[in-house]
Amino acid sequence: MPTSIPYAEFIKKLPQADIPLQGVAGYILGGPTSQAVFLEISAGTRIAPHSHGEQWGIVVSGELEFTIDGKTVKRSAGDSYLVPNGAEHSAAMLTDCLIIEVFDVPDRWKARA
């Protein structure tokens, strides 16, 4: 997992997201209209092309290649991104990454049972 300063223990006590991808852990912070997920993603992990509602994210640490509607860019610590509603997107982690993503719905990810 990430080699930078990890998320605080109180964040890791949030409900863990049921994300069906090896090398990905997420901790859910929710509200009535949106959901934030604190992600830990291992180097080499690939997120296959998919789409859903609007999503905003910021890279806390690490580097990844992010593709939105066919345009690929590198993002690293401090960079943010916006995925428009319905836009196809994918990602490839170049290093271990800590990423915070916020979704425009309160139930993008369910909590792990």
> For the structural domain made of 9-103, what CATH number should be given?
2.60.120.10
12 phi, psi to nearest 5 deg: -70, -10
Residue 51 clears pLDDT 70, i.e. is over it:
yes
- AA letter at 13: K
Give the pTM.
Answer: 0.92
Q: What is the structure's pLDDT at 4? A: 63
Spans of all domains in the chain: 9-103
Residue 11 clears pLDDT 90, i.e. is over it:
yes
